[in-house]
Chains A and B, each alone.
Chain A
Amino acid sequence: MTGLVSLWQVFDRLQRLMWVRILATILVVGAAVGFFGSVVSIRNSWELASGDISQSLLGDEAAVYGNLLRDNGKVVINGMEYGGPIEVLQQVIDEDGTPTDVQRIVFVLLRDWIPQWTPRWLLLETSMSWLLMGAMIIIGLGVIWSGLLVPVVTLLAVGAAGTALFWSLAWDNWVGVPIAMTVLLSTFLMAIRVLQLALSGRQGWMAVAHTVLQEVSRTRLAMGFVVSLLVVLPLLPLTLDAAAPIAQVVQAYLARSLGLAFMVAALLVLLVGCSSICFDIRDRHIWHLVTKPLGRANYLFGKWVGVVLLGGVVLGIAGSWSFAWVQYMQSSYVPRTRVEFANQAELMEEVLVARESMFPVYEELDEVDVRGRIDQILLEDPEYIEFAEGDVPLGLFRLLRKRVLEEFDQQRRVVETNRDRASRPWSVIHFEGLQEAKQLNLPLRLKFRLLGGYSDEHDRRLVGIAVGEDRSTGVMGAFIPTVPQHIDLPSNAITDEGTLDISIVNLTHIPPPEGNEWRGPAALEPYALAQGSQDPFALFWEAEELEIVFPDASFGSNFVRGLFMLFLKLMILAAIACALATFLSFPVACLAVFSLYAAASIAPWLATTLSSYGGGPMRGQGVGAVIQSYIEGMVRTVAAGMVYSLRAFGEVQPVDRLVQGRVIAWDRIGSGLLLVLSWGGGALLAGWFILTKRQLALYSGDQ
């Protein structure tokens, strides 16, 4: 081990020598120009020859050349001899010498002009070759002159060795993994170096941020996080179920890769944010700093910037890799069967998109109606009859109010059956905010998941859908309870005000026809009111499971927005970690910040469950009941406070939206930025105040 370290140090010293750098530069430039130049040269030659051959085979003497090829298998055109297998040429040249497929003849005659080592996709675009050559030279020079030559070359050598090993073992699925890992790690090193270059200004905070990045790249703990992520990422595709539909595979990969990337980046940010400042104070490095003209604000800001940039680099590299792999999965998927074509369509329409969604706008109850309904319950329910006259306890009032609102909410998401002639078996659902879709003439899709009866997923029933309140020109189709479905709608159905009404007609009493197609146009009301042969049931749906969606952006731009939202979350976490580190010891600061992170992440779920926890009148009597009631009250208060203060952070879930193909709207990004300013800025401000007031020298006692 010592020998390896010594060898590394020798090479490290060598790479700093000027002549070594110049030599390496010449080699890199030479290799880039040699390789890509050859590719371009081959392409140009191929194009020239292809042009000559095509012109000859399409010109006046086409038959002459054709006969020569057919008889001899070779021909001389403009001084160059071209040849190919006679049996193949005879298939594309008629007996009179007329070429029937000039392009194929060209490929056959020039098949040996393209060396095996030449990537075919490079030959298609000359501009791509120039671009890659430039990138290789820039990256190569950056690596050489920034002192990264030895680590990058070592990494790539290890990766190549691993790839060769797996190739020799015929482990096809693993062949690309080692080189992918080393490419990711090399990219990380280079990105850190670029950032350090960007932070080479003379401002104090830049110097502090620069040193944070140096600290991370030279301490094992931080690098352990980074390496573990960048090593695991290329292995993730091996965990996917190749037999599943491609849309599900891509969704699973997106969820896992981005989820893992953010989790590791967040842990890294929290850890480095705490350790960098805590250890500076504990080990008194800060004495050297604050006795220089570096204000506490600059110090804290510099630490925060360094930690944020670190998290951003990790997230950016992992995110870029995920995006590239998704593109690879999408482009390499070749459907052959009808099911596979449907899967591909689902992938392109449901996952690799960025759709805006609009939910129905329902009727609301005003407080007078609420009070009226509460009074009715008090009168009708024997349990509460005693409160019908007189004052209602506050706890009971809140409980009944909640019950009234929930019941009303459920009622407006129900389509009754035709059994009771008093109620109509259809509902009109109102949508608003569709102006953009109308202006851009974007295709609309109504997505829904209907429930009813036993919600048996083996059941098939009929439902009718019409645009507006005119149910004479609707469509009918089969649906399966609990299974999400959709129907496409024309954007010209949207009014000028951006509203759209949809009628949902309950036809569960009529057996559905075979197939999944929507049939129409048809008059739906007669069907709805007719007698059927099946037991009907009321249709209902959960909140947010009936929506209209339309494409609002590309998947790529949406992906970038998602990464940016995740980056905003990292900024907040970094600020909190840095702030806590100004006055807590390292273990306590870590505990506090990880607890906050966990609490903020589960806050949305907590908000949902909190509504059904405790509250209402005391259950039972006696001391035990009183104690239980008070404990529940305290827990509710604490949880409610936590939810109120942390919920905003937890509700930022860009990965879920990316996986579901939903757009991350600009207003969400704006909210995220506000969150950074308020939470992050507030945390940094508090940290600065604490650091300013804190006396950094300890009483030694013996000096």
Chain B
Amino acid sequence: MVTMMQRSEAVVEARGLTRAFRDFWMRTRAMAVDHIDLEIRSGEIFGLLGPNGSGKSTTIKMILGLLRPTAGRLAVFGRPATDVAVKRHIGFLPEESYLYRYLTPLETLDYYGRLFGLRRVERRRRSEQLLDMVGLSGVAHRHVGEFSKGMMRRIGLAQALVNDPEFLILDEPTSGLDPIGTKLVKELILDLRERGKTILLSSHLLGDVQDVCDRMVMLYGGKIRAEGTVDELLQDTQRTVIRTGRLDQETIAQIDAILRQHGTAIEQVESPKQRLEDLFLDIVEKARKERIATSGATEGGVTAEFLRSEEQSGEDLVDHLQQTKDAKPVAHIMTPAALEQPGASLEVLDELIKGTSAAPKVAVEKPQAAPQEDVDQSMIDRLTGGGDADGPGDRT
């Protein structure tokens, strides 16, 4: 399939985008979007955040041509947002699934597939794969009106993907979904990004946005208040987090003493907790293995085959990464701030944790006092009682 854009080109470009709602006398009743400049690049996951009434949905509606801007320029794939040809490459999941209640999932996907001009055999194939992917194969012949909210979201997601879009717009995609569904959606988003898709994600669930987005903007009152990559926006430069194996109280006290010599101290010592999401998924997985029946949605399958047909070659990926300085590696690895600070030494920290067990790790946070100084070698030497280094080693 021919893609519309070369990598790194803008899928959506907005300059001075404005949307005002006026009353009968043409007085401005609400400025929903106020002169925002926005650029969504090809192949990235772009987050659109903001409180209620900040202009997120209005922006999305303008991108989709459901609303016309009052002022400014807006181009999608280099064309006006109202261009019908552009829609061929867009998939849209609205905040609520406004699907026909009297159609079954199969019929729904078939209907929308026909709007994209897909052949019958292809429509059938994609429908089955998508329903399997979102875990609705067992209810393919039930009317959508009988579905729960979560099931409607799943079928909504499936219809957004029926045309294998290059640009996917997801408005609150995990709303109403259980953790299984949420996990599915997030994995799918990441998977699609790997396939070169561009995704615009609007959500109130900040954790979901943080987990998947490359760049994001935060809107308030129709204006952009913050913009940047996840790390740029979320990095706390005032703290250092060090993860170690389990430490006994004596060791913790020693560390604290050393830190106090440098004008800081341990703020908090805790054992990391398993995430509730992980616990939920574990329980469900066990139940699934015990073959306990469910009448609702099932756990989804793998990503639909037709969506995987556009996997990037290694060369493309490299080129993509080199061209886009904000490119992220395939797996998002959380690293403490300390490791990324200039001067931080892996060898030093390896010394620090030498000899620890494989028990749950202890997060040692360095409290903020004055502007942070690097952890120097002398401190680490004192901590380890001498400073004999075993040489460089992998932290993990």
Contacts and interface: CB of A to CB of B under 8 A. Distances in A.
Nearest to A199: B114
Interface in A673-696: 695-696
Interface residues of B, number: 42
B66 A291 contact: yes
Contacts of A285: 98-100
B94 A287 contact: yes
Contacts of A211: 100, 103, 111
A210 to B, nearest CB: 8
Interface string B141-175: 10100000000000000010001000000000000
Contacts of B119: 202
A314 B99 CA distance: 28
Contacts of B103: 211, 214
B68 A695 contact: yes
A13 B98 CA distance: 27
Interface in B14-35: 21, 30, 32
Contact of A202 (B92, B107, B112, B118): B118
Contacts of A214: 102-103, 107
Given A211-B111, A283-B98, A293-B84, A695 B30 contact: no
Contacts of B118: 202
A293 B163 CA distance: 11
Contacts of B124: none
Contact of A695 (B67, B111, B141): B67
A290 B81 CA distance: 12
A14 interface: no
Contacts of A284: 94, 96, 98
Interface in A655-703: 695-697, 699-703
A699 B163 CA distance: 28
Interface string B83-108: 01101101010111011101100010
Contacts of A699: 21, 30, 32, 58
A523 interface: no
- Number of chain A interface residues as a range: 20 to 34
A288 interface: yes
Interface string A266-288: 00000000000000000111011
B53 interface: yes
B117 interface: yes
B85 A293 contact: yes
Contact of B116 (A218, A283, A287, A292): A292
Contact of B94 (A204, A207, A288, A295): A288
B288 interface: no
A703 B57 contact: yes
A204 to B, nearest CB: 5
A288 B112 contact: yes
A291 B99 contact: no
Contacts of B58: 699-700, 703
Interface string A74-113: 0000000000000000000000000000000000000000
A285 B100 CA distance: 7
Contacts of B223: none
A207 B115 contact: yes
B65 interface: yes
Contact of A292 (B53, B94, B102, B112): B112
A292 B64 CA distance: 9
A18 to B, nearest CB: 15
Contacts of B163: 292
A291 B111 contact: no
B61 interface: yes
B112 A702 contact: no
B52 A204 contact: no
A289 B92 CA distance: 10
A702 B53 contact: yes
B354 interface: no
A697 B66 contact: yes
B141 to A, nearest CB: 7
B140 to A, nearest CB: 11
Contacts of A595: none
B117 A202 contact: yes
A695 B21 CA distance: 12
B193 interface: no
Nearest to B88: A293
A495 interface: no
A581 interface: no
A288 B98 contact: yes
Contacts of B117: 202, 293
A290 B65 contact: yes
B120 interface: yes
A700 B141 contact: no
In this complex, the member of B67, B92, B100, B163 whose beta carbon has the largest number of chain A beta carbons within 10 angstroms is B100
B276 to A, nearest CB: 27
B56 interface: yes
Contacts of A702: 52-53
A291 B87 contact: yes
Contact of A289 (B56, B61, B67, B115): B115
A543 interface: no
Interface string B332-362: 0000000000000000000000000000000
Contact of B56 (A16, A287, A291, A703): A703
B88 to A, nearest CB: 4
A292 B115 CA distance: 7
B92 A204 contact: no
Contacts of A116: none
B98 A287 contact: yes
B213 to A, nearest CB: 19
Nearest to B202: A703
A700 B57 contact: yes
A202 B53 contact: no
A689 to B, nearest CB: 15
Given A218-B102, A703-B53, A697 B87 contact: no
Contacts of B96: 284
Contacts of A210: 111, 114
Interface string B55-75: 011100100111110000000
Contacts of A288: 92, 94, 98-99, 112, 159
A219 B66 CA distance: 28
A290 B53 contact: no
A284 B119 CA distance: 27
Nearest to A207: B114
A575 interface: no
Nearest to B107: A214
A211 B84 CA distance: 21
A532 to B, nearest CB: 78
A13 B94 contact: no
A294 B84 contact: yes
A360 to B, nearest CB: 59
B25 to A, nearest CB: 16
Contact of B67 (A218, A283, A697, A701): A697
A295 B84 contact: yes
A290 B117 CA distance: 15
A107 B67 CA distance: 83
Interface string A290-312: 11111100000000000000000
B40 to A, nearest CB: 16
Nearest to B98: A284
A200 interface: yes
Contacts of B85: 293
Nearest to B169: A291
Given A288-B94, A291-B65, 4 more contacts: A207-B114, A215-B102, A287-B66, A287-B98
Closest 7 CB pairs of A and B: A697-B66, A703-B57, A207-B114, A284-B98, A218-B102, A697-B61, A292-B115
14 contacts: A202-B119, A211-B103, A211-B111, A214-B103, A283-B98, A287-B64, A288-B98, A288-B112, A289-B115, A290-B87, A293-B84, A294-B115, A695-B66, A699-B21
Interface of B: 21, 30, 32, 52-53, 56-58, 61, 64-68, 84-85, 87-88, 90, 92, 94-96, 98-100, 102-103, 107, 111-112, 114-120, 141, 143, 159, 163
